[in-house]
Structure 1
């Protein structure tokens, strides 16, 4: 007889997570203004008082991932040495991008560079040539190597423990090398519950932004008003797709939507590139890469302690908190789909292929918006300030040939990105909240749907108390990141200790693993030479 999905839930995880969630929603219903003021105060307190911690650890996480990719354990597989990848490279890449960035890519692709052009960092002159280049390079920083490294800290460590050490997909279980059998105690499962809440709080930001941008697109195309009723209707329609996707499982749901969405995103990017100022886009892309490489550490570690403009707190520190809050779910999702791949493969996908695609996306849309503002006297910044950041991309698309068609396709893109993002997060939250004896690698459909519903409910709540502004959504991520930040540091130490112990026991033969790759390559080269000679 099939077990009821409610009996599969670990109460020590679910109760803390949902208790915090219900308290927040109840607080929002009883005193929305009071809650809004409180979360804003907490946001300011954490970003101003502890922003340096986020920035410093962001660089540490990046160096850790570089060490993983090129260090002695680079050829260790996430799984047994003879395991093979379960997904094609294209599907793997598509799912990583769709779940990793998803809604954020479509929301900020025009709005963020325009915002930085109007209010650049480090005392630059607004609308200057220097500010235009920094607008793109700063965006590259926010969506480039450090964010993907943050995801990798969880993705690689959890993949290693889940598929090589055969532990359940619980964050507490991955800390056994540090705490021994203490991780089996209920207190550590309660810790997992706080992590689940942090994940829900983090994905709330992306979900809320997606709902707001869909409303803006509908207003742009059909004149539908942007209000709470529209947000609710969008959330309900989207919840139907999420439910279908969620109950269909990881392979069917997310993989299918990702394989649709990434080609659609690539098509739209190419169309905008061809219809846009091609030379300006490529020149700005080249200049921005140079600016990023030449000023990477000053940009990545800038706290604005003297000027106190709030730029670092409102942007870079917020972004790092957002990625950290999203890291457990995105990282665990990456671990799930990366079984059979080497550590180097996983890291290089996230530090090379994914950032390159992201950079080209932002250069295409962002530089097109800058060109319109700077050289065609289009009042994009003024329009964005009036209608909200969610409107910026639709303003650009409306100015291009076939603008209505492009806007409609972009709406579809947002809708599916929203689904893939939350579907992936709901899946892994359900994994963590499932009892070990009930196969948490394949959580129940009911629990997955419940997690998706919790995410959408909190997102709607934060939108409504913020009256359609993004500040409360940002606060949600920052608050959710606090416990997760500690967990990520512990995961790094735990993984390194475990690999060194396995090496000492002979379970990982570093010399053999690192000899294997060149030997295989030499064999392939010999075969190719023989084919040529024949």
Structure 2
């Protein structure tokens, strides 16, 4: 390694695509500065464009996610599912580590935070798609879980790393271009997208969207853990406590991002999965295990039956804007860089393996996790109305998890463990997204450490500033997430036909190689 290469590897500034960096980092910085200067103005503008985004793109996103899932599953069960990606027949990591990284990145990005609260919201205020249902009754249980399954299920997961990952792996490993989000537009523009201004703009928009989507959960973590520490140990639920929590989180996921996929990132992911499995087993034993199993089973059956109807429901656009469309915008924002991450860790995997792991296994595990926490909360709410919904209404999302765990035996032991789980879970999102952003800015599979540190710290600083502003800062960011998803929705569109087209091309190449090898063997014999 020469001196220049070593310098780039250490400091990284010579490897940056500055237009991409300015669009993404500059856009994020501008949002934070404007929020500090005039929060009311920013909030007003964000809410205005949030409304426009939901109005004009909500239905498009619903169709995009649904078609993405159906095409991905069709590809998985077709003959093209056997195609092995990445130019190697040996996966670079074990199946458990591979699935653990995939699972933890999105579930940590909000699933852990929402899993106790979201089903309770729907239980106490049934979604409009289910018609007239009396809130807070047994009739509201399955619809509540169904709606949560929709938002964190097959559609959400599939947009993150199925067809998009196939396109990126084809362009990167088989065509030799950098592993960057702009390659999602390759099916339309070909090789020129990798060096064009449009490609750089698409890259910057993709990074900005995932940064916004990750900053929110970082801020939520500070609020949730601070609230819990106050309830448990009377530590002041104040900004200094929230800031200390965010700093600790940033230090952890920055170190993890620096050490890379095969060390820190996969280690934290493995810890998360093992700890989650242990907690799930424990709750099934000491909690309402029968109710959880029955609710999961019935809700899954109803979810599958109502799948297409719920996915395309447009009966109450106001409600959809604040729930379904918001979540679709959030997941779309994660889409390009999650696809980059999946492509980075999936070399040697078949198309079928990727589709099933991301589009089926991960959603089912997420559904069960939501039933463990959300279903447990509903069980206690049915027995004593207000025991969960009361704290949720009074203190918001941070109170939901604490209220649910507080009703379980061994709650004094379980609560700190759950908080530790959330902390480590979110660290896996921070480290993997910091790495993905650094990959996209530099075009390197193993980007300079300075770039990983920059993005890791920047997201933490932005979260700290926004929660300092109060609920308006984080609220504005939540709406901003949906706005940043508008261009990303078009970046993801070409994967609908690009994924199958590239799978076919690779399948044909694979068949030709096998035929040539068979001819060679026959000739030798």
Normalized against structure 1, the TM-score is what? 0.89
| Counterpart check, 1:163 vs 2:173 | yes
Corresponding residue for 1:485?
489
Q: Quick one: structure 1 residues 209 and 30, their matched pair in 2 at CA, closer, same or farther if it must change by over 3 Å?
A: same
Corresponding residue for 2:274?
263
Alpha-carbon offset, residue 191 of structure 1: 2.6
| Counterpart check, 1:91 vs 2:100 | no
Corresponding residue for 1:11?
18
Corresponding residue for 2:146?
137
Q: Quick one: structure 1 residues 510 and 286, their matched pair in 2 at CA, closer, same or farther if it must change by over 3 Å?
A: farther
Match of 1:329 among 328, 334, 337: 337
Paired with 1:52 and 1:414, the residues of 2 have a C-alpha distance of 33
Corresponding residue for 1:424?
432
Paired with 1:284 and 1:189, the residues of 2 have a C-alpha distance of 47
Corresponding residue for 1:509?
511
Match of 1:311 among 307, 313, 319: 319
Contact 2:156 2:328 in 1 (8 A): yes
Paired with 1:101 and 1:225, the residues of 2 have a C-alpha distance of 29
Tell me, what secondary structure is at the counterpart of 1:169? Answer: coil
Corresponding residue for 2:74?
67
Deviates more, 1:27-36 or 1:148-157: 148-157
Alpha-carbon offset, residue 155 of structure 1: 2.4
Q: Quick one: structure 1 residues 99 and 508, their matched pair in 2 at CA, closer, same or farther if it must change by over 3 Å?
A: same
Corresponding residue for 2:521?
none
Q: Quick one: structure 1 residues 182 and 469, their matched pair in 2 at CA, closer, same or farther if it must change by over 3 Å?
A: closer
Paired with 2:241 and 2:362, the residues of 1 have a C-alpha distance of 33
Q: Any idea what the Cα deviations from partners look like across 1:248-287, whole Å, max 9, x if unmatched?
A: 1121111011111111111112212211112211221122
Contact 2:115 2:374 in 1 (8 A): yes
Tell me, what secondary structure is at the counterpart of 1:507? Answer: helix
Mark the runs of 5 or more structure 1 residues left unpaired by the alignment: 517-534
1:453-532 equivalence runs, <5 A: 453-467=457-471, 471-501=475-505, 506-509=508-511
Q: Any idea what the Cα deviations from partners look like across 1:305-343, whole Å, max 9, x if unmatched?
A: 4xx5x3222111111111110112222111111110100
Match of 2:27 among 10, 17, 20: 20
Deviates more, 1:334-343 or 1:173-182: 173-182
Paired with 2:334 and 2:281, the residues of 1 have a C-alpha distance of 29
Corresponding residue for 2:523?
none
Contact 1:198 1:325 in 2 (8 A): yes
| Counterpart check, 1:43 vs 2:50 | yes
Contact 1:120 1:135 in 2 (8 A): yes
Q: Quick one: structure 1 residues 285 and 161, their matched pair in 2 at CA, closer, same or farther if it must change by over 3 Å?
A: same
Q: Quick one: structure 1 residues 155 and 458, their matched pair in 2 at CA, closer, same or farther if it must change by over 3 Å?
A: farther
Paired with 2:178 and 2:276, the residues of 1 have a C-alpha distance of 35
Deviates more, 1:60-69 or 1:450-459: 450-459
1:26-425 equivalence runs, <5 A: 26-80=33-87, 82-122=88-128, 123=131, 124-151=133-160, 152-183=162-193, 184-305=195-316, 310-425=318-433
Q: Quick one: structure 1 residues 150 and 510, their matched pair in 2 at CA, closer, same or farther if it must change by over 3 Å?
A: farther
Mark the runs of 5 or more structure 2 residues left unpaired by the alignment: 519-525
Paired with 2:300 and 2:33, the residues of 1 have a C-alpha distance of 46
Tell me, what secondary structure is at the counterpart of 2:360? Answer: helix
Contact 2:65 2:159 in 1 (8 A): yes
Paired with 2:182 and 2:471, the residues of 1 have a C-alpha distance of 37
Alpha-carbon offset, residue 468 of structure 1: 6.8
Paired with 2:505 and 2:112, the residues of 1 have a C-alpha distance of 44
**How many positions carry a matched residue from both structures?**
504
Alpha-carbon offset, residue 116 of structure 1: 0.4
Q: Quick one: structure 1 residues 93 and 447, their matched pair in 2 at CA, closer, same or farther if it must change by over 3 Å?
A: same
